[in-house]
Structure 1
Amino acid sequence: MELKTRMDGQVAVITGGAQGIGASTGRIMAELGATVVLADVNEDGANATAEAINADGGTAVGVRYDAFDKDAVRGLITDVAGRFGHLDILHNNVGGSWPDRDLQVLDIDDDTWLKIFDWNMHTTHWATTAVLPIMLEQGKGSIVNTITGGAQVGMSIQVAYGSAKGAVSSYTRYVAVQYGRRGIRCNAVNPGLILTPHAVEVMSEDFKRSLFDQITTVRAGVPDDIGYAVAFLASDAAGYINGEAITVAGGGPRSSHDAEALRVGAYGPSVPAPPADLILPDLH
């Protein structure tokens, strides 16, 4: 029986592909048979990730692009389609924020607000509008966007990031509705707190511990958890999923009151602290 998760012969573009979630997604898709193009402003990082994938028997290329440059975003898609003759999967993964500037509603300046929307929402739109004509001509294609749990629950900081990712969530449904009958699926993956190498480096011990008050699994999330979800949504195995968001957040985030109730055992026996190797599992 043919495994519909296989991606043999398909070409995938992953933005923000140099490290973290993008790199994990690229490696997993390459293991499934796809040719992956890792696009990132960090050209050295994208090339290093591509070289590691190729060394493991996959097929990958690293390219540089600037997510803040509309022409560069659209040029990336056009160049890849021209190089390979088709483009089957787009993972709009690039995005982020500046935690010291993206604060509360009355604290954020206009320039930061606009740039964070460029980084997260607008680059998604620019890449999508570039790839849609290609996919429509092919009669098929899959787009997967990365959003965030903060867009659903609200946070005490990062109002622009959460708002921009909330816009991406809505945008995902619009693309699905408008182009689904023409063979294009558009879905989103909604990560909780994922222990990327950078996150592990900057998180305090108290913050790591508080993470486990907000999830219902025995370990923290790692980039591969998101990569596998993206690969599934992009594959034919998810052929009847369109306009949806899959949350990969370890059963969280929970409200602060609910998290405390879970910690003290209000819902049953007290939940023990996970062992250290599960708090910080090995990262690829």
Structure 2
Amino acid sequence: MKRVQEKVALITGGASGIGFSTARLLAKEGAKVVIADFNTEGAKEAATKIRDEGGEASSVFLDASKEASIKEAVEFTVKQYGTLTVLFNNVGLTNLKKDLDIVHMDLDEWDRLMNVNLKSVLLGSRFAIPHMIKAGGGSIINTASMAGFTGDVVRSAYGASKAAVVNLTRYTATQYGKDKIRCNGIAPGLILTPAAKSNLSTEVLAIFEKYNALPYHGEADDIGYTALFLASDESKFITGQTIQVEGGHYIANPTAPDFKALSEQA
């Protein structure tokens, strides 16, 4: 038996990167998947790739800033496959030009990020949970971020929205656990998605690698495999947790790499 045989999964932001990796792995392990994305053509192409590999996949348009669009994506999934047992709330936005420090942040950007990064998680869960109750249970997985656990010089709204996702995950798990619905989060560090590879310079990547405990960066499949585990019954006694998948970037005293370099010079 495959790890998620006969489960039905809706993956938001599933056309590329972490979302597509998760959709592909879930389908490979027996789930029926729906890829929901603002990029309609990208979602169709992703679903086609999965079907070409022998999986079962469909696609649907999703505007995560619109309540009606989120509801429609959930209803499409249930209509397509009869039920919904896995929801991966994966859509997220960031903007380094507008999401700055507290004094200089664009307040419209604050509202936009709270709407897409946080409210979409709430709405996706709200519309999925009644179907999961009918199915006898399910697994909700929320993409948080290590930005939700730390402070930074910019991306104040992004970090605040992701911290809220971490706690919303706990609230969802608390409120619907007796219905056999689990809710967990994944907090990625720097992951080399296509977007990250195209937008981050080698100098920036080198800074991140310097502070990783491991000597390499994360790949989309590192998050995808974590989501697969949380979607499967292998994690049936895990709920309300946010798993940090970040290569040990945040585990050490921040001065450790510099002191190591200093000792090697002595």
Q: TM-score, normalised by structure 1?
A: 0.89
Q: Which residue type is aligned with residue 35 of structure 1?
A: K
Aligned equivalents of 2:58 and 2:33: distance in 1? 6
Aligned equivalents of 2:99 and 2:256: distance in 1? 27
Aligned equivalents of 2:37 and 2:198: distance in 1? 21
1:59-93: CA deviations, max 9, x gaps?
11121110111111112112211221110100000
Aligned equivalents of 2:7 and 2:236: distance in 1? 15
Q: Which residue of 1 aligns with 2:259?
A: 261
The percentage of counterpart residues that share the same residue type is 37
Unmatched 5+ residue regions in structure 1? 271-284
Q: Which residue of 1 aligns with 2:75?
A: 78
Aligned equivalents of 1:258 and 1:155: distance in 2? 19
On the 8 A contact 1:214/1:255 being kept in 2, the answer is: no
Aligned equivalents of 1:233 and 1:80: distance in 2? 20
On the 8 A contact 2:182/2:239 being kept in 1, the answer is: yes
Tell whether 2:216 aligns with 1:219.
Answer: yes
Deviation at 1:108, TM superposition (A): 1.3
Aligned length: 264
Deviation at 1:256, TM superposition (A): 4.1
Alignment map for 1:87-102 (pairs within 5 Å): 87-102=84-99
Q: Which residue of 2 aligns with 1:233?
A: 230
Q: Which residue of 1 aligns with 2:37?
A: 40
Q: Per the alignment, in what secondary structure is the counterpart of residue 110 of structure 2?
A: helix
Q: Which residue type is aligned with residue 239 of structure 2?
A: N
Q: Per the alignment, in what secondary structure is the counterpart of residue 153 of structure 1?
A: coil
Q: Per the alignment, in what secondary structure is the counterpart of residue 219 of structure 1?
A: coil
Deviation at 1:259, TM superposition (A): 3.6
Q: Which residue of 2 aligns with 1:124?
A: 121
Alignment map for 1:99-118 (pairs within 5 Å): 99-118=96-115
Aligned equivalents of 2:144 and 2:187: distance in 1? 5
Q: Which residue type is aligned with residue 233 of structure 1?
A: L
Aligned equivalents of 1:135 and 1:40: distance in 2? 22
Q: Which residue of 2 aligns with 1:58?
A: 55
On the 8 A contact 2:12/2:36 being kept in 1, the answer is: yes
Aligned equivalents of 2:30 and 2:92: distance in 1? 26
Q: Which residue of 2 aligns with 1:196?
A: 193
Q: Which residue of 2 aligns with 1:278?
A: none
Q: Which residue type is aligned with residue 182 of structure 1?
A: D
Tell whether 2:243 aligns with 1:243.
Answer: no
Aligned equivalents of 1:259 and 1:129: distance in 2? 44
Q: Per the alignment, in what secondary structure is the counterpart of residue 12 of structure 1?
A: strand
Aligned equivalents of 1:131 and 1:56: distance in 2? 28
1:218-271: CA deviations, max 9, x gaps?
221010000000110111000010100111101113564234234x175xx79x
Of residues 139, 144, 155, the one that matches 2:141 is 144
Q: Per the alignment, in what secondary structure is the counterpart of residue 249 of structure 2?
A: coil
On the 8 A contact 2:191/2:220 being kept in 1, the answer is: yes
On the 8 A contact 2:32/2:81 being kept in 1, the answer is: no
Q: Which residue of 1 aligns with 2:9?
A: 12
Aligned equivalents of 1:110 and 1:205: distance in 2? 31
Of residues 22, 28, 32, the one that matches 1:25 is 22
Deviation at 1:109, TM superposition (A): 2.2
Q: Per the alignment, in what secondary structure is the counterpart of residue 210 of structure 2?
A: coil
Q: Which residue type is aligned with residue 75 of structure 2?
A: T
Q: Which residue type is aligned with residue 213 of structure 1?
A: K
Q: TM-score, normalised by structure 2?
A: 0.95
Aligned equivalents of 1:50 and 1:82: distance in 2? 17
